[in-house]
Structure 1
Amino acid sequence: MQLALDHISKKVGAEHWLYELSLAPRSGEVTVLLGATQAGKTSLMRIMAGLDVPTKGRVLVDNANVTATPVRERNVAMVYQQFINYPSLKVFDNIASPLRLRGEPNIDQQVRSLAGRLHIEMFLDRLPAELSGGQQQRVALARALAKGAPLMLLDEPLVNLDYKLREELREELTQLFAAGDSTVIYATTEPGEALLLGGYTAVMDGGELLQYGPTAEVFHTPQSLRVARAFSDPPMNLIAALPVGQGVQLVGGPVLRMAVPSVSAQRLATLTAGIRGSALRIEERAGDVVLAGRVELAEISGSDTFVHVATAAGELVAQLTGVHYFDLGVPLTLYLDPAQAYVFDAAGALLVAPGRKGGR
């Protein structure tokens, strides 16, 4: 199916829940809605599902206007953060219910296959009330997948699961989505989850759609500071900078030699340099700039170490691969290839991105 949102907005009283936006998710692909809490992701999904009606604009499915069509008359599967299951049915029957409605053959095989991939095959004979919250969420997810609806809306479906299981299920879901024909809309607050799921990403903030496109493209080329902040984990290091003849100079720090596009003096009045944590290293390479400082904090997260370093240009967070131990207060020098830096203008619009010779 082809879903399209045509200049929709949502206002409740004097409050804007969604500012005017248009979005046409790719048919049969995964579109990630990425943004912090209250970015507008759930409000947008409820309009897509038919649970809410936009204040303005239209919702189109295969070019037909379904704006006022209620959810019960649409073929949509939706999973919320707050799981919903049939309490009187065992797990097997919860998952099997949409298959039976469609008169599917091999129901037992399909149910057990989905349960196995979501790690709940041992709970098929239990009632939902006998399961933990995370297990019940997986049951709701399995039932939504079993429905095989042409539009599947998943509102942070893994948020109630522990870290290890989230990592496993993200990989399983990627394979399940790729094997199906559904248009999948997946809401998350986690940039890493968007990158893992791939497909397309719509970055949202404060009810606004900031940028939409292929996930890797949005990540590597954020069109604004707001997008860069939303699509970075750890947060992108943002440093005040000034234009100089050879490129840009970090306030209190070194010059980053780069080609800055010719734009108005007003746009160049104050610049912001953006440096992803993964671009900072503790080993020097030819052409690097030096950022000397002292360790303020070192955090080990999974297979990475996040080191907070106080430098003359401000506090920087470096994301180092592997487990590293640093004493607090010890000197530490970070190194950066200037070609890995972003530059944003006075209004927060992107001027330079890694791998690009010019701006927008």
Structure 2
Amino acid sequence: MNLVAKHLTYKPDDQYHLNDVSFNFEKGRLYTILGRTLSGKTTLLKTIAGLLNPDSGNINFEDKNFSKVPVWERNVAMVYQQFINYPHLSVYENISFPLKQRKLNEENIKKNVDDALKTVGLVGFENRKIQELSGGQQQRVALARSLAKKAKILLLDEPLVNLDYKLREQLREEFKTIFNEGLANETILIYSTTDPQEVMELNGEVIVLDEGKVLQTGPAKDIFENPINLKVAEISNDPPMNIINGLKIDGKITFENINIKLPKHLSQLDNKNYNFGIRSSEIKLSDSGEEFEIELAEISGSETLLHLKRGSTKVIALIEEVMNFKIHEKVKVVFNSDKFYVFEEDGKLISSPYRIKNG
């Protein structure tokens, strides 16, 4: 039986946390909720878990109205962004605690705990106290406790956000392994994140949420390639997609005295103003390019983000190496027009490099 929600609304203090949210989640699948901070992700997960009651709408699972099912009977496990553990218990005791509450026999408890410890890379830490662990290790204990329960619905509320980059990468791969080895056959996994890269790497079905409202749903690749509007384009890219207000006239795109040859996929556009979108990775340094002024240079890992300005137009270029620049320094860049998106002034997608939409 699917997990089905219809018209969920939650509006405390006259502010929407959920605004007419509906979905149909199937067993054995991964669903990713993508949204900025305060978009309603945690509220939605807590509503599924029974920790919050919506003002209207309902949730059904296995022919049961969840509003009539107590929290402790929902067979739901949840991992929070801020990890929660029992500080007076050992790692093993933390993970086994909910299993003992369910009165599983010792053999099954040990197997479930051992499997969970292996998954999160904490084998050998069974007898350590929580205070002896790093923050990342403590989050892995919280994750292991939820995995050990083998719940039918597993809710992960930005579970990797407090972990270091290498461990985040490792655990993302572990999630895929968990599903491939059979957990997915019985479990609905719902994973919330603000990170578009996580969405693409997990490669599940995506719900883009903003101010409590569902903006777009679909496979991760579809969301990335064809964001339905400007808001989705911003949310589903990090850095957010650059938006340039420009004029399409005859065979060119023009803005800030820059003329770019119109790419083939935009040949049917009418002559008028549009919002042109381009990802930071599609803006390259080039001596043959157009001059921009550097407002800020950020080094992130092995990459450099250049915040550039020309007239009233501001863009971010992603340089795939570490480079040193000075503020107000002038650089030349070129735009890969084959990767231009076009949006109406009201924000609706008209066309993308992957698919053309008319109207």
Q: Give the TM interval when normalised to the shorter protein.
A: 0.7 to 0.9
Corresponding residue for residue 183 of structure 1: 188
CA displacement, residues 65-97 of structure 1 (integer Å, 9 cap, x when unaligned): 223322112110111123222344321122234
What pairs with 1:129-278 in structure 2 (closer than 5 Å)?
129-179=131-181, 180-181=183-184, 182-246=187-251, 248-258=253-263, 259-260=265-266, 270-278=273-281
Q: CA deviation at 1:235?
A: 1.6
1:251-297 alpha-carbon deviations (Å, 9 max, x no partner): 5432451455879x9xx86421111011112359xxxx943324443
Secondary structure class of the residue paired with 2:222: helix
Moved more, 99-108 or 226-235: 99-108
The answer to whether residue 315 in structure 2 is matched with residue 316 in structure 1 is yes
- 1:160 is paired with a residue whose SS is coil
Q: CA separation of 1:10/1:37 partners in 2, compared to 1, >3 Å: closer, same or farther?
A: same
Q: For residues 292-320 of structure 1, give each alpha carbon's deviation from its aligned partner in whole angstroms, at most 9, with x where no partner exists.
A: 32444332212322223333572321112
Structure 1 residues 294 and 16: alpha-carbon distance in aligned structure 2, compared to 1, 3 A threshold: closer
Q: Matches of residues 16-35 of structure 1 in structure 2 within 5 Å?
A: 16-35=16-35
Q: 1:13 to 1:300 in 2, by over 3 A?
A: closer
Partners of 1:47 and 1:219 in 2: CA distance: 27
Question: What CA distance in whole angstroms lies between the structure 1 residues aligned with 2:64 and 2:286?
Answer: 58
Q: 2-side partners of 1:161 and 1:256: how far apart?
A: 44
The total of aligned residue pairs comes to 353
For the residues of structure 2 that align with 1:39 and 1:135, how far apart are their CA atoms?
A: 28
- Please say which of residues 309-318 and 40-49 is displaced more in the overlay: 309-318
Residues 294 and 140 from structure 1, CA distance in 2 versus in 1: closer, same or farther, beyond 3 angstroms? same
Point out 4+ residue stretches in structure 1 off by more than 6 angstroms.
none
TM (norm. structure 1) is: 0.88
12-21 or 231-240, which deviates more: 12-21
Kindly state the Cα deviation for residue 17 of structure 1 after the two structures are TM-superposed.
Answer: 1.6
Cα contact 2:241–2:279 (8 A) shared by 1:
yes
Say which is worse superposed, 24-33 or 270-279, in terms of deviation: 24-33
Does residue 281 in structure 1 map to residue 300 in structure 2? no
Structure 1 unmatched ranges of 5 or more: none
The Cα of 1:216 is off from its aligned counterpart by: 1.3
Tell me how far apart the structure 2 counterparts of residues 12 and 315 of structure 1 sit (CA, whole Å): 37
Q: Is the alpha carbon distance of 1:21 and 1:302 closer, same or farther for their aligned partners in structure 2, counting shifts above 3 Å?
A: same
* Amino acid paired to 1:339: D
Tell me the TM-score normalized by structure 2. 0.88
C-alpha distance 340-218 of structure 1, shift in aligned 2 (>3 A): same
Which is worse superposed, 207-216 or 332-341?
332-341
Could you say if the C-alpha distance between residues 256 and 273 of structure 1 is closer, same or farther in structure 2, counting changes exceeding 3 Å? Answer: farther
Q: Percent identity?
A: 39
Q: Quickly say closer, same or farther: Cα 1:59–1:106, change in 2 above 3 A.
A: closer
Q: Corresponding residue for 1:4? A: 4
Structure 2 Cα separation of the partners of residues 82 and 302 of structure 1: 25
Moved more, 269-278 or 243-252: 243-252
| Mapped partners of 1:22, 1:113: distance in 2 | 34
**Unpaired stretches in structure 2, ≥5 consecutive residues:** none
Amino acid at match of 1:304: E
C-alpha distance in structure 2 between counterparts of 1:28 and 1:111, whole Å: 22
Q: Report which stretch shifted further, 249-258 or 195-204.
A: 249-258
Q: In 1, are the aligned partners of 2:96 and 2:148 still within 8 Å (CA)?
A: yes
Is 131-140 or 341-350 further displaced after alignment?
131-140
